[in-house]
Structure 1
Amino acid sequence: MNALHQYLFDSYRAERLGEPAPPAPGTGDLALLRAVRDRRRLERVLAGRRAGGGARLRLRAALRRLGFPPPR
């Protein structure tokens, strides 16, 4: 049984019992990813490191190695 089947089964059961319908699968995925990102940033700050920008700096360094001019 996949997530959609389980959702349909739970929706049917909730309707029969007069309960509120469950949230659709994937409804909170983006919020979860944001919460994980924010938690990792907080942990980095508490450890005394930069909160972000690491990937951007690595990209700029790689572009400089390839001979591209730095952004203005």
Structure 2
Amino acid sequence: MSITQQYLLDSYRAHALGEPAPPAPGTHDWQVVREWRDERQFRAVLAGRPARRRKRVRLALGRWLPSGRRATG
């Protein structure tokens, strides 16, 4: 069963039972990613490691930007 089919089934059941509909798939994806990143940084601090953000993604994306708009390290 796909995610869309499961969502439609859950929506139908919620409507039949008079409950609020579940959130659509992908609605909270960015929130989950942010919370995961925050948790990873928190565990790094507890372990005594520096909690810095990785710049790899920013540098990789900077390669595609025009030279005047590149992110500096």
Task: Give yes or no for TM over 0.5.
Answer: yes
Structure 2 gaps, min length 5: 60-71
CA RMSD, 1 decimal: 2.1
Give 1:22's aligned amino acid: P
The Cα of 1:27 is off from its aligned counterpart by 1.3
Percent same amino acid at aligned positions? 56
Determine the structure 1 residue equivalent to 2:49: 49
Q: Structure 1 residues 14 and 53, CA, compared in 2 at 3 Å: closer, same or farther?
A: closer
- Segments of 4+ in structure 1 off by > 4 A? none
For the pair shown, which has the larger CA radius of gyration, 1 or 2? 1
Q: Structure 1 residues 35 and 49, CA, compared in 2 at 3 Å: closer, same or farther?
A: same
Does residue 5 in structure 1 map to residue 5 in structure 2? yes
C-alpha separation between the residues in 2 aligned to 1:45 and 1:25?
A: 33
Structure 1 gaps, min length 5: 60-70
- Name the count of aligned residue pairs: 59
Give 1:9's aligned amino acid: L
The Cα of 1:25 is off from its aligned counterpart by 0.7
Determine the structure 2 residue equivalent to 1:22: 22
